[in-house]
Structure 1
C-alpha cells in the first residue's frame, strides 16, 4: 500500500540539501533539450539501482522484467527503511544517490531533494502526451521544469463509505457538502452505527490530517497555500485553526469510534467493510487495503466513494511516493541515459503490463483500466482532474500536522497547540529554504 510518506521533511537534511544551492561548483540546472533513448536500446553490462519504500519494493516488478528482457540491463531495487522520505533525504545530503527512486512528485518534496542540483530534468518526456486529462500539468514540476515521472494516479482525499450502513440509516444520496456530510453522520449515529472511523494508535496517526485538509479545499482553491507559503497567513490563523477545532469537536461529540486513541489503519479497513463504521476520510491506499480483504464484486456492492469539501464535492489531491519516480544526476552519463530509458519504457511499452500486474487505474490514453479495480477506487481517480492541492502538494514545506493532531487525540495537545507547533515547524523549514516572508 502506498502509504509510507508521512508529510514532514527533516530540517537538518533539508538544510544540507538546500545549502548545496549556494555551492558555486554545483552543476547548473539544465532545462533545455533532453535526449530520450529508444526504449529497446541495448544496455548489456549496465546496472541501475532503484530506491523504493517498503510498500513499493514490488511495484515495478513487471516493468523491470520486461525492461531487462528488452535491453539486457540489470535493475536492482533497494529498500530504504521507513520513514522513507527522511532516509532518502539523509542519504542524498551525504552524496549517496541511486539512479532512480520512488518519490512524492510535489513541488515541496522535489525541492527537499534540491531537484535542480540532484535530479535529471525530464524535459520533453515522450510519454507526456499520453497522459489523460490534465495529469501532465498537475504535479511533478518545480519552477516549470519536470523532474518526476507519474506512473499512477495521484491519491485524493475523500470519503469511503459503507453502502449498507447508508441504506440502513435511510440515506439514499451521498452528501453534497460539509453540512450534509455531518448531518448524515448524525443520522447514522441515531440509527446505532458509528459514523466515522479514524486512528491514532500504534504510534501512527497519519490519516488524521485528511480531516483537516478536506475542510480547507475551498480555501486552497482561493490561494490558501500561496498565502501560507509567503507568510501572509499562518496555521494559527482562523482558516486552518477552525478546521482543527471542527475535527476536535466532532470527536468530542462522539461521532468517531470510541477506540480512536488505540485503533490502527488495519482496524479502519475492517470496521468499514464490516459495517461497524459508516465512513472514513482516506486516500487511495485505503482502497488497496480493502482489495486485500475482499474481492472486487464484494467491494463494488458494499463500498462507495465521494469527495467532500465545505461547499461541494471537490477532492483534495495528494501525490505520494507510490505515484512517481525521479532520476538522479549521478555523473555517469551512460547510466543517466539508461535511467531515462527505463522511465520511457515504463510509461511506454511496459505500461499496459504494469497496470494489469498492479490492478491500477490507467492514467494513459489507449491503456484500459483492469476490471479488477473496484468502483470506489475508479471514482477516487475520476476526482483528480478537478481536485485542489493538499498541503503536501501546494505548500513549500510539509510540517508534522498529523503528529500534532495525534497528540490532540491522545490529550497531550490542545487544538491551539496543534497549530502553534505546526506553524513553528513550517516556518523553520521555509526559512531553511530561504523563502521570503520567514
Structure 2
C-alpha cells in the first residue's frame, strides 16, 4: 500500500462548500456514465487485478485504518492501492474537490443521509445494493446506516459511534455507587451526589467544541424515537420549540450548577481522556472516538479495570447512534468501468476474506456473525457495540441537514450566547441547508 503525503489545504470559498448539497438528492444518474452500477457484477474478492491502481481518500484520523487489509488485498490481487490523506476539515475538502471533478475510487465518509446528500450521492457514488458482503452483517447492523432514499451508498466497516457515558469504575465504587444510572435524570442525580462528595461529576471539552452537542442529543433520544427528526425535516417542529430548547436550557443549567470541570471553557479532547483515566472526573458523555483515545493511553487490562460504558436517554438506557467518517467507505462513480469494478472488489474483499485481518489489526468489535471479536477488545467497546441494537438515530443520522449545533453550544459555554440564541442560530442554518438541498418544506 502506498500512502500519499497530505496535500496542501484548499482555499474554500463559501460558495464552494456545499456544491454537491445544492443539487436535488433524487436527481437521475443517467448522465454520469455509471448509473447502472447497482446492476453491475461484483468481482470475486481475490480476482486478478495486476496493473490496477486504486486511490482511497482518508482523513487524518482514518488514514491508518486500511493499512493491514489493503496490504493483504494487494498481495492477493496484484492491485496497487494508494491512501491519500485529505486535509481537515475533511468533509469540506472532499466536497470541494469532488465539485471540481476530482474523484477517488473510494473514500471514508460519514454514512448518514445528510452527509450522503452533501456528497450528492445519486450523481457521484456507486449504489451498493447488491453487494455480496451484506449477508455477512449482523442482522441488527445491516440496515442501520449507509442509505439515502432507499438506496445503499456506503459500506459499514467499523461499529458506528453511539453517544453514551464512559465512566471511571473506581471513582463510582469509591463513592458507594454500585449501579449505573438508568435514565438521564438518574445520571444527573448521581452527578449531584458525587459533587457533594467533592468529586467532579462530568467533563466538558469546550476548547475543542465538537462534543458539546452530545449533551443535547442524548436528551433528545426519546423524541427521536417518536419521530422528532421527521417533524423537523417537514418544518413542522423547530429547534426553537420546547422539545429541543429545553434540552439546551438543561445543559446550560448543569454547567451553571458546577457539575463540570472548572476549565470546561478551554479543556480539550486530550484533557478529557487524561482526566477520566486519572479519576479526576467520574463520567464523560462521548462517542467511540473517545475510547480510541483511551486505547492510545492505556492497555486493555487497565481499561477493563477502570473504564465502563452505559447508554443513556431520558426514559432509560437507550443510545443515540452517530456513524462517523471512519466507520464507512463509499465507492465513486468515476466513469471508468474497470476502476469502478475494482473498487467494488476491494469492498468485497474487505468485508469478506479480509475482514478477520481487519478487525484483528484494528482491535475492534466485529460487525459480522461469522467473525468473532478478536482477543483483547476492551469490555467498554463491546458494551458500546451492544448498545447499537436498540439505539435511535442522531441528528446527523436522521435530519436532512447537519447544522453547526456544536459551535453554537460552545459559544454558549463561553458566555457569548443564550440557549434561545443557540436554538435560533441552529434553526436558521438548518433551514438554509435544507433549502439548498431542495427540501420542499423549506421552499420560500
Instruction: Please give the TM-score of this superposition, normalised by the length of structure 2.
Output: 0.94
SS at match of 1:263: coil
Say which is worse superposed, 40-49 or 11-20, in terms of deviation. Answer: 11-20
What is the distance in 2 between the residues matched to 1:24 and 1:294? 48
1:161 aligns with 2:156: no
Aligned 1:51-62 pairs, distance under 5 A: 51-62=57-68
Structure 1 unmatched runs, 5+:
1-9
Residues in 2 aligned to 1:394 and 1:425: alpha-carbon distance in whole angstroms: 16
1:145-156 map, 5 Å: 145-156=151-162
After TM superposition, give the deviation of residue 31 of structure 1 in Å: 7.3
Counterpart position of 1:300? 304
1:418 equivalent to 2:422? Answer yes
Q: CA deviation at 1:136?
A: 1.1
Q: Distance in 2 between matches of 1:392 and 1:297?
A: 34
1:67-119 C-alpha deviation (Å, 9 max, x unpaired): 11111110001100111011101111111110000000111111111111100
1:11 CA displacement: 7.0
Give the superposition deviation at 1:437: 1.3
1:272 and 1:24, CA in 2 relative to 1: closer, same or farther beyond 3 A? Answer: closer
Deviations for 1:4-55, whole angstroms, at most 9, x for unmatched residues? xxxxxx7743245533766897338447523100111111111001000001
- Write the distance in 2 (CA, Å) between the matches of 1:18 and 1:344: 32
Does the alignment pair 1:135 with 2:141? yes
1:397–1:430 CA contact under 8 A, matched in 2? yes
Q: In structure 2, what is the Cα distance between the partners aligned to 1:268 and 1:11? A: 36
CA distance in 2 between counterparts of 1:419 and 1:20 reads 27
Distance in 1 (alpha carbons) for counterparts of 2:24 and 2:359: 38
Give distance in 2, aligned partners of 1:238 and 1:436.
24
Q: Identify the residue that residue 222 of structure 2 maps to in structure 1.
A: 218
- Maintained 8 Å contact 1:11/1:429: no
**Paired position in structure 2 for 1:3:** none
Indicate conservation of the 8 Å contact 1:133/1:385, yes or no: no
Structure 2 residue 31 is matched with structure 1 residue 26: yes
Counterparts of residues 198-347 of structure 1 (less than 5 Å): 198-201=204-207, 204-347=208-351
Structure 1 match to 2:183 = 177
Q: Is the 8 A contact 2:21 2:437 kept in 1?
A: no
The superposition leaves residues 157-194 of structure 1 with CA deviations (integer Å, 9 ceiling, x where unpaired) of 00000111111221111011112111100111111110
Corresponding residue for 2:56?
A: 50
Match of 1:371 in 2: 375
Give SS of 1:48's match. Answer: strand
Q: Say which of 61, 71, 82 aligns to 1:65.
A: 71
**Structure 2 residue aligned with 1:392:** 396
What is the CA–CA distance in structure 1 between the aligned matches of 2:153 and 2:139, rounded to whole Å?
A: 20
SS at match of 2:81: strand
Q: Does 1:381 align with 2:368?
A: no
Aligned to 2:8: none
Structure 2 regions of 5+ residues with no counterpart? 1-13
Q: Give 1:412 shift.
A: 0.8
Matches of 1:68 and 1:15, distance apart in 2: 34
Tell whether the 8 Å contact from 1:13 to 1:93 is kept in structure 2 after alignment: no
1:92 aligns with 2:80: no
Q: Whole-Å Cα distance in 2 between the matches of residues 369 and 209 of structure 1?
A: 31
Aligned residues of 2:229 and 2:399 also touching (Cα < 8 A) = yes
1:432 and 1:12, CA in 2 relative to 1: closer, same or farther beyond 3 A?
Answer: farther
Q: 1:154 to 1:184 in 2, by over 3 A?
A: same
Question: Counterparts of 2:73 and 2:107 in 1: how far apart (Å)?
Answer: 16
Distance in 2 of aligned mates of 1:110 and 1:104: 8
Shift, 1:133, TM fit = 3.1
- The answer for the alignment partner of 1:197 in structure 2 is 203
> 1:188-219: CA deviations, max 9, x gaps?
11111100001111xx2000000000000000
Give the SS at the match of 2:143. helix
3-state SS in 2 of match to 1:26: helix
What is the TM-score when the length of structure 1 is the normalising length?
0.95
2:87 matched to 1:77? no
Structure 1 residues 168 and 241: CA distance shift in structure 2, 3 A: same
Give the length in aligned residue pairs. Answer: 427
Q: Is the 8 A contact 1:67 1:345 kept in 2?
A: yes
How much is the aligned-residue C-alpha RMSD, in angstroms?
1.5
